[in-house]
Chains A and B, each alone.
Chain A
Amino acid sequence: MNPTTSLASRIISSRTVWICLLVVVVASTLPLYVSGYILGLLTIAYYFAVFAMSWDLLFGFAGEVNFGPTFLIGLGAYTAGILDNLYQPPIWLCLVAGALAAVAGGVVLALPALRVRGPYFGLTTLVAVLILQNFVVVAASFTGGEIGLTVPDVISIDDGVNYWIALGFMAVSGAILYALSRSPVGLILQASGQDAIQAGALGFNVTKHKLTAFIISAFFSGLAGALLVFYLGAASVGTFVDVTVGVQVIIAAVLGGRRTILGGVLGAVFLIGAGEALRPLGDLSTFIVSAMALAVVLLFPSGLLGLLTRTRDAR
């Protein structure tokens, strides 16, 4: 990458950007001829894609596995939901509150997590999810416990409008996250993730950069979670906080292609789409989706995006 060309000219000449733009434009025409059922599915998939992309940012940068993306997502979702239940402020206020809560949670999580390496980082994040889960269940009067809470306001009832909101949000978040990953700041972050010692030796403040990555990931995850609450009209532990949901986020990101950001979209759409398509098979559907995901992980480590772009796998 030649640093002397401006960011703008690089964007215009990048093939990836044009392909993504094309995909977004085509996708936005979907409500014209596709059923509400599929639109609903895609809406959820798009929010899920933001979860996956945020996770990929953290993974690509911190270089460690975050087992608890649902900690951040759940914080965002529940804060927005509870706030709406208690005071019924305008929706955008709830969204902002949700995003901020997630960011705060991200900072609190980052403090112990960044001091430890390897599997301990993953464990810290996992513990955070378990604690949130337990907290939600125990403080049931407040949060609706295991049954979940319903939210009085919804952004819109129309399938098409919800779809466009989700698509727009995903496109914007994706653009920001992707641009970040390709920018000089992104490169520093990648270096910090892959070899923190060397990056530190080169004079970069590794901790500060990793914390930044955490905050950005938390912001988008929380915001997406809050938006999803207002789409579904309800929140529960099983849909937002559970470890299994976090696992699906990770699978979506790895399946789509780790460290690519954009792969998260492919992974999320595939996961949610396949899960729905196989629903008639009942319990076997999860088995088949997991088996397919496992096959991809074992045979095509570059993920779906790698398959599509026929990236040569790194040695």
Chain B
Amino acid sequence: MLFWQILIDGFAISALYALGATGFTLIFGVSGVLNLSHGALMVTAVVAAWVAGGDFGLNTYLGATFGVFVGFVMSLLTYFVVVRPLQQSNKIREEEKEIFILTATLLWGIMISELIAYLYTNNAKTVLPIVEGVVMLVGVRTPANEIFTAIVCWLVIGVLWLLVNRTRAGKAVLAASMNPRGVTLLGIELSWIYIAVWAVYGVLVGIAGVLLGMFLGVSSYSVGPLTASAFSIVVLGGLGSVSGSLIAAYVVGYLETMTAYLVSPAFRTIPALLLLVAVMYVRPRGLLGRR
């Protein structure tokens, strides 16, 4: 009984983690950027959906769509205002650009979360779920919302996989992650690929955020832990490897759920951290990492 509950809850939460981590790893793999404002972008999307539902009085579908749209816009804003100027700056030495981008995205993330806290307070916000009610699954009372979350996450991941592996544009993105210069030699405009990747990232973050808002709710305090968990999942799976992050997301999600149910919710984050340490010592590349 408990087993099934853990199985189902873990599956839903892992799917959510997987979606967020996939976006994170995509940006790193192609753009080479560790976007530390990841959590902030997710929370922005949720708050936008919340505002849409509350202040604008839109129904849940429109609210969710608005949230995703805001995620999309914020992601592009992050790229054009914070990341690109630094990448193209000629005032900073090449080897230092990474730390500048890291610091800048971190600051950007802090700015966003503080602004949200100021405008909308620190209180947790939830978004009205699109699917309501409770379903009996294998004898376990499960919110239909959870199943919806898992399904949507996997649908999006599936669509993403199709896009990247089966379409020409997607293959160009894949190529850009392996060899940016080679891609330019083929006559493909690299800057458009970067914009496309950040746009896709925005949509992913928006969807993941809105789903999270429906499932658990967020507050401006969630920003840090969200970024941190995406970070650790991606490291576990291997930076730059999407399939790696998917697997790692499930490992982390299930570890957390099991700990919460079997030990105590307070210790939820510890096994994942210990696993991360072990990975750092034994195999820093992660499960399927390339570098």
Report B-chain residues with C-beta under 8 Å of the C-beta of A112.
280-281, 284
CB of A250 within 8 A of CB of B110, answer no
Which of A2-10, A217-225, A291-299 binds B?
A: A291-299
**Looking at chain B, what size class is its interface with the partner chain?**
35 or more
Point out the residue from B28, B34, B96, B228 that lies within 8 Å of A130, measured CB to CB. B228
Chain B: CB-nearest residue to A283: B118
CB of B93 within 8 A of CB of A314, answer yes
User: Taking the nearest CB of chain B, how far is it from the CB of A175, in angstroms?
Assistant: 26
CA distance A302 to B284 in the complex (A): 32
Cβ of B147 under 8 Å from chain A = no
Point out the residue from B93, B231, B239 that lies within 8 Å of A126, measured CB to CB. B231
CA distance A271 to B115 in the complex (A): 18
Proximity bits, A281-315, B CB within 8 Å = 1, else 0: 01110110011011001100110000000000111
Proximity bits, B273-291, A CB within 8 Å = 1, else 0: 1101100110010000001
Chain A: CB-nearest residue to B34: A119
Chain B: CB-nearest residue to A291: B111
Chain B: CB-nearest residue to A302: B91
A118-B98, A287-B114 known; A127-B104 Cβ under 8 A: no
Cβ of A258 under 8 Å from chain B = yes
A115-B284, A301-B91 known; A120-B103 Cβ under 8 A: no
CA distance A59 to B284 in the complex (A): 21
Report A-chain residues with C-beta under 8 Å of the C-beta of B154.
none
Report B-chain residues with C-beta under 8 Å of the C-beta of A287.
110-111, 114-115, 118
Cβ of A63 under 8 Å from chain B = yes
CB of A134 within 8 A of CB of B269, answer yes
Which of B58-66, B82-90, B248-256 binds A?
A: B82-90
User: Taking the nearest CB of chain A, how far is it from the CB of B253, in angstroms?
Assistant: 18
CB of A243 within 8 A of CB of B224, answer yes
User: Taking the nearest CB of chain A, how far is it from the CB of B273, in angstroms?
Assistant: 6
Report B-chain residues with C-beta under 8 Å of the C-beta of A315.
90, 93
CB of B95 within 8 A of CB of A130, answer no
Cβ of A244 under 8 Å from chain B = yes
CB of A286 within 8 A of CB of B235, answer no
A115-B284, A287-B114 known; A297-B100 Cβ under 8 A: yes
CB of A244 within 8 A of CB of B224, answer yes
User: Taking the nearest CB of chain B, how far is it from the CB of A306, in angstroms?
Assistant: 10
CA distance A123 to B273 in the complex (A): 11
CB of A298 within 8 A of CB of B95, answer no
CB of B277 within 8 A of CB of A127, answer yes
Point out the residue from B28, B96, B273, B277 that lies within 8 Å of A258, measured CB to CB. B96
Chain A: CB-nearest residue to B272: A130
Interface contacts (Cβ under 8 Å), in number, total 111
Chain B: CB-nearest residue to A134: B270
User: Taking the nearest CB of chain B, how far is it from the CB of A192, in angstroms?
Assistant: 13
Cβ of B267 under 8 Å from chain A = yes
Q: How many residues of A contact B (CB 8 A)?
A: 42
A116-B284, A119-B239, A123-B235 known; A138-B102 Cβ under 8 A: no
Cβ of B117 under 8 Å from chain A = yes
CB of A294 within 8 A of CB of B82, answer yes
A118-B98, A127-B232, A283-B118 known; A250-B280 Cβ under 8 A: no
User: Taking the nearest CB of chain B, how far is it from the CB of A233, in angstroms?
Assistant: 27
Docked complex: B65-109 residues within 8 A CB-CB of A? 82, 85-86, 89-93, 95-96, 98-100, 102-104, 106-108
Cβ of A155 under 8 Å from chain B = no
CB of A122 within 8 A of CB of B102, answer yes
A287-B111, A297-B107 known; A120-B102 Cβ under 8 A: no
CA distance A283 to B115 in the complex (A): 8
A138-B270, A315-B90 known; A301-B235 Cβ under 8 A: no
CB of B118 within 8 A of CB of A282, answer yes
Chain A to chain B: the 4 pairs with minimum beta-carbon distance, closest first: A287-B114, A313-B91, A294-B107, A283-B118
What is the interface of chain A, defined by CB distance below 8 A to chain B? 59, 63, 65, 112, 115-116, 118-120, 122-124, 126-127, 130-131, 134, 138, 194, 243-244, 247, 250-251, 254, 258, 282-284, 286-287, 290-291, 293-294, 297-298, 301-302, 313-315
What is the interface of chain B, defined by CB distance below 8 A to chain A? 28, 34, 82, 85-86, 89-93, 95-96, 98-100, 102-104, 106-108, 110-111, 114-115, 117-118, 224, 228, 231-232, 235, 239, 267, 269-270, 273-274, 276-277, 280-281, 284, 291
Of the A-B pairs whose beta carbons lie under 8 Å apart in the complex, a sample of 28, sorted by A's number, is A59-B99, A112-B280, A118-B98, A119-B34, A120-B280, A122-B34, A123-B280, A126-B231, A127-B277, A130-B273, A131-B274, A134-B273, A251-B103, A251-B106, A251-B107, A282-B118, A283-B114, A283-B117, A284-B114, A284-B118, A287-B110, A294-B104, A294-B108, A297-B100, A297-B103, A301-B96, A301-B100, A314-B91
